[in-house]
Structure 1
Amino acid sequence: MDRIAVLVVDDEESVRTFLAELLGNAGYQVRCASSGAQALEMLQGGSFDAVLLDVVMPEMSGLEVLRHYRGSGGAAPVIVLSALAGADDAVRAMKMGASDYLSKPFGNDELEDVLARALGTRAPARQAAAPAPVRPAVAEAVENPNEARVLISTSPAMRRARALVERIADTDVPVLLLGESGTGKEVIAREIHARSQRRNKPFIKVNCAALPGELLESELFGHERGAFTGATAEKPGKFELADQGTIFLDEIGEMAIRLQAKLLQVLQDEEFFRVGGKKSVRVDSRVVVATNRDLEKEIALGNFREDLYYRLNVVAIRLPALRERMEDVVPLTDHFLKKYGKHYIHGVSELPGEVLRAFTEYDWPGNVRELENMVRRLCVLKDPTLVLDELRAGRAPASAPSLPTSYAGGDDGAPPPPTRTPEPEPVRPPPTASVQVLEMPARGGAPVPPTVTEVPANHMAPRYSNPFDIPQPPPPPPSMPVAEMSLKDIGKRAAMLAEREAILAMLQRTAWNKRKAAGKLRISYKALLYKIKECGIIDPRASAEF
């Protein structure tokens, strides 16, 4: 029997390599395309059973590829992937014929589950893997979603959380996981499942923040054929797929009020109707939910149902932020070094003491997920000193590689790249402000002195002769008056304004070549696109005035 052929389309080489290795080990035959044009050429000349398609790509977006492919009669299931695209793109993709939608980062089992569902009853036989060397349990997290994750922690707060998990795992009560993003709520959810009597049944995860209400309802409860435009076949929902197992609803605080009522019905009656359905569907699924919001405040604001809150809050487990358990930083760092040492050849095997000390002094606003991404970045770049100055300054790296992650420590919903806390800027006289654009030298090269670029301070200045140097509109105003903003929000606003001016200066220097500008600013292309949108920067080439 021929292996199932999957085409991976992504402009980032690291993502293509990751997915090719992951799916190859899962038994799929994988080919890769680095651009939309190459993907269409390969789809015309070859036969593929499924397509994994990134949305944000230069020259030709994933949505354009999907439109051309469906327009030419292509019928293979297409699963759309994106870290930066919003809900509108998800809706457009589904209406254009996408089979499913995944937000980066996503877990290995989540991707395989979506692929298997898109392919129907077809599923590859997993290739036999060589036996792995035995390692101490505390040093490695288990990759099988139906096995317990090892919680790498020595802190009293995490020990209490682990003890509570052991006590309630074998019951069927709903569990509410509380904590900041990146604290490991999904790890706990999977451990609850792995320690329960449902361990040999499915564990299904749904990110309630990743999809708009219309798509989320269909994702959770399924739909009948013809229920809405694009519903060409009957589709079971995640609750049906989790029958006899566990369903994990991440970011439950983002769920629309209307859907909360339907979820409450499922919890009370264990039955629901598919979208467009006339017959009720009965399920037996244990529900575990997670949120980084204060649900009691959301109830007071009218954003969350009080009856649903009490139905979910039978057992609540709060996970402390990493800054509240700094004794775990060193063992977690060691674990992630070993983990990514297997993925990246000749990666960093251990960190210099100076870098490790900086790790223990950093505040980790992104919690365990940020620590993991930092270690992964170090393994890729193979030069720990590149992040040392940023750590000492109390800043996170400007960008981490945009990769799907197999670590279950995230409340996935692709977070935007972290903003950096700005250093105080000296007051500069009008009418211009000097922005220093730092170009990083190649490894081993001599430092490059900063280039000072004059940026117009008055946005009503005369039109430039070079259309790429046209003054930009003012930055987006703050959501509230400055007098009512906290010091933290003021810092974030100042950081955004500083980044906006630096990005504008580099775009003007590179004649608005975004890929070249991203390279000089040492951030990923997609991170730059996000920043351009966030800062309200307008590409003059798209303006009708030129």
Structure 2
Amino acid sequence: MDRIAVLVVDDEEQVRTFLGELLGSSGYQVRCASSGSQALEMLSGGSFDVVLLDVMMPEMSGLEVLRRYRASGGGAPVIVLSALSGAEDAMRAMKMGASDYLSKPFSSDELEDAMSRALGNRLPARQAPAAQAAGASREEASGERILISHSPAMRKVRALVERIADTDVPVLLLGESGTGKEVIAREVHARSNRRNRPFIKVNCAALPGELLESELFGHERGAFTGATAEKPGKFELADQGTIFLDEIGEMAIRLQAKLLQVLQDEEFFRVGGKKSVRVDSRVVVATNRELEREIELGNFREDLFYRLNVVAIRLPALRERPEDVVPLTDHFLKKYGKQYMSGVAELPPEVLRAFTEYEWPGNVRELENMVRRLCVLKDATLVLDELRAGGRAPASAPSLPTSYAGDGDVEPPAPTMRMPVPMPAAPVSVAGPGGAVQVLEMPARGAVPAAEVPVNQVVAQPKYTNPFDVPQPPPPPPTVPEGEMSLKDIGKRAAMLAEREAILAMLQRTAWNKRRAASKLRISYKALLYKIKECGIVDPRASAEF
């Protein structure tokens, strides 16, 4: 059997390389084009079974490539890719003859599902067994998160999944975003007697009503401009299998009525069709909305709610099951450590404790992305600093030991000590092994909160050998006569001094790389230069004597 030929059209080399390797490892024969004109030339001179086409490209957009290809009689399925996830682009692409639409970034599972829909039974030899099994192993892998759960709440969820998996009743999954509703949906399918049939996912929030109707129920040739051929809908593709409708609360009222008909009668009409289509698809839906409230507001049909609410499974938020944080972290460390070859085998107990104390508003999805970032950066201090900067990490979250830092372009944290910065009327000196340095002089009472200040910043070195450790001059004392400094001026002065200390600390951490320091302080490069001048900070590269 000849290998299935795929043309990848994208102006980004990284995307072409990724898709080429991914599809090539799955048994496809892949060729790539970096522009629309090159793609049209390759399509006119060669035969391709599927085209993956990016929308946003210079000179000629993907939609224009699609229009010209269809006008010239090209009939290969075209899967449109876009980073904008615009509903208007999606609708135009489908009307112009695209067979499917994926929003970047998409998972390998989503791409594989789109390829399967485009090719039908014509799959590479390596993919054929998986297609016949309807990706059962993939569903099992996706269910790993629930299988490794240790909390009583998730054990109850798992027990309920096992009880209802072999039935054909609709399942309503409730819970916050990121709690793993899709994972549970795949687990229901993988444990059911439909496990060897397709599992089809549809995100009801990703497409407008008109396009979602065509996506779910298909359309007939000539149903609208650009409908050059009939297209089966996702319900037909999920026949004998499971269809997962994510974000069901976003579905338009008109479409809700058509969905209710499918649930009641197991039949529907394609867009523009005159003949009913019968299907046998198990329906699993998910939402993070309170549907009872949506019913009161008139946004959701009450009869559809009762039809879907046969078995409802509410997934607890991650903050309600802290026992799962550590095993999930270990699981994701193994997963992404292998993917990025980071060599991060485990996290120190201090970091794990910080993770368990954090509330994780983004739930399991946020935890997964955090661990993924750790495996890429190889320095947990950056992640913890990010959590603290956003006010999302516990105040007691410690910094990671410098021995953990990886070999990437990441600087180790400077040694720090916690010290209150007082604001009395007389200068204050902080003693250190090299002498003393004046820290603050200000005619005011009270103190600013304790701050972490690098040791080599508050200790005056009598003689330095590192050009980046030049002692900074203390801030000038106020020149306003006593009794004439307003409270507002005092606040401005305190803020400037605090900013000065923070900027100095970050500049020394980044070896006086101002652009990197500006990025870590989350201000623009120009703003940092202005602050350096305003605070009287001396750049050692301009003043040091070697």
The two structures share one fold, judged by TM-score above 0.5:
yes
Which of 158, 162, 169 aligns to 1:166? It is 162
Q: Structure 1 pair 296/56, CA: closer, same or farther in 2 (3 Å)?
A: farther
| Structure 1 counterpart of 2:26 | 26
Which of 360, 364, 368 aligns to 1:368? It is 364
Q: Which amino acid aligns with 1:99?
A: S
| Structure with the larger RCO, 1 or 2 (CA within 8 Å, 6+ apart) | 1
Which of 140, 145, 157 aligns to 2:139? It is 145
| Structure 2 counterpart of 1:525 | none
1:54 equivalent in alignment to 2:50 = no
TM-score, length basis structure 1: 0.67
| Structure 1 counterpart of 2:212 | 216
Q: Structure 1 pair 3/63, CA: closer, same or farther in 2 (3 Å)?
A: same
| Structure 2 counterpart of 1:79 | 79
Q: Structure 1 pair 41/232, CA: closer, same or farther in 2 (3 Å)?
A: closer
Residues 24-61 of structure 1: CA distance to partner in whole angstroms, max 9, x if unpaired? Answer: 23211223455656655655665432222233456765
1:108 equivalent in alignment to 2:173 = no
Is the CA contact (8 Å cut-off) linking 1:174 and 1:313 kept in structure 2?
yes
Deviates more, 1:120-129 or 1:159-168: 120-129
Which of 283, 286, 302 aligns to 2:282? It is 286
Once the two structures are TM-superposed, the CA of residue 66 in structure 1 deviates from its matched residue by 3.5
Is the CA contact (8 Å cut-off) linking 2:96 and 2:225 kept in structure 1?
no
Is the CA contact (8 Å cut-off) linking 2:171 and 2:283 kept in structure 1?
yes
Is the CA contact (8 Å cut-off) linking 2:515 and 2:525 kept in structure 1?
no
Counterpart of 2:53 in 1: which secondary structure?
strand
Deviates more, 1:117-126 or 1:279-288: 117-126
Q: Structure 1 pair 75/270, CA: closer, same or farther in 2 (3 Å)?
A: closer
**Runs of 5+ in structure 2 lacking a partner?**
130-134, 394-488, 493-498, 531-546
Residues 391-427 of structure 1: CA distance to partner in whole angstroms, max 9, x if unpaired? Answer: 2334689xxxxxxxxxxxxxxxxxxxxxxxxxxxx99
| Structure 1 counterpart of 2:514 | 449
Task: Give the superposed CA RMSD.
Answer: 3.9
Counterpart of 2:167 in 1: which secondary structure?
coil
Once the two structures are TM-superposed, the CA of residue 351 in structure 1 deviates from its matched residue by 3.0
CA distance in structure 2 between the partners assigned to 1:143 and 1:14 by the alignment: 28
**Runs of 5+ in structure 1 lacking a partner?**
130-140, 398-425, 429-434, 454-497, 510-546
Is the CA contact (8 Å cut-off) linking 1:146 and 1:199 kept in structure 2?
no
Q: Which amino acid aligns with 1:77?
A: P
Is the CA contact (8 Å cut-off) linking 2:198 and 2:242 kept in structure 1?
yes
TM-score, length basis structure 2: 0.67
Once the two structures are TM-superposed, the CA of residue 20 in structure 1 deviates from its matched residue by 3.1
Once the two structures are TM-superposed, the CA of residue 312 in structure 1 deviates from its matched residue by 0.3
Q: Structure 1 pair 37/185, CA: closer, same or farther in 2 (3 Å)?
A: same
Equivalent positions of 1:111-190 (< 5 A) are 111-126=111-126, 143-145=137-139, 149-150=143-144, 151=146, 152-190=148-186
| Structure 2 counterpart of 1:6 | 6
Identity across matched positions, percent? 81
Q: Which amino acid aligns with 1:144?
A: R
| Structure 2 counterpart of 1:335 | 331
Q: Structure 1 pair 35/505, CA: closer, same or farther in 2 (3 Å)?
A: farther
Deviates more, 1:246-255 or 1:17-26: 17-26
Q: Structure 1 pair 62/332, CA: closer, same or farther in 2 (3 Å)?
A: farther
Q: Which amino acid aligns with 1:371?
A: L
1:93 equivalent in alignment to 2:75 = no
Residues 480-520 of structure 1: CA distance to partner in whole angstroms, max 9, x if unpaired? Answer: xxxxxxxxxxxxxxxxxx99xx68979xx9xxxxxxxxxxx
Q: Structure 1 pair 193/214, CA: closer, same or farther in 2 (3 Å)?
A: same
Q: Which amino acid aligns with 1:274?
A: R
Counterpart of 2:79 in 1: which secondary structure?
strand
| Structure 1 counterpart of 2:405 | none
Deviates more, 1:305-314 or 1:359-368: 359-368
CA distance in structure 2 between the partners assigned to 1:247 and 1:109 by the alignment: 15
Residues 93-135 of structure 1: CA distance to partner in whole angstroms, max 9, x if unpaired? Answer: 2233322112345443432232132234422111799xxxxxx
| Structure 2 counterpart of 1:422 | none
Equivalent positions of 1:252-271 (< 5 A) are 252-271=248-267
Counterpart of 2:80 in 1: which secondary structure?
strand
Q: Structure 1 pair 224/95, CA: closer, same or farther in 2 (3 Å)?
A: closer
Tell me the number of residue pairs that the alignment of Structure 1 and Structure 2 aligns. 416
Once the two structures are TM-superposed, the CA of residue 305 in structure 1 deviates from its matched residue by 0.3
Counterpart of 1:302 in 2: which secondary structure?
coil
Q: Which amino acid aligns with 2:139?
A: P
Is the CA contact (8 Å cut-off) linking 2:218 and 2:233 kept in structure 1?
yes
Q: Structure 1 pair 334/30, CA: closer, same or farther in 2 (3 Å)?
A: farther
Which of 319, 327, 352 aligns to 1:356? It is 352
Q: Which amino acid aligns with 2:156?
A: R
Is the CA contact (8 Å cut-off) linking 1:77 and 1:99 kept in structure 2?
yes
| Structure 1 counterpart of 2:467 | none
Q: Which has the higher helix share?
A: 2
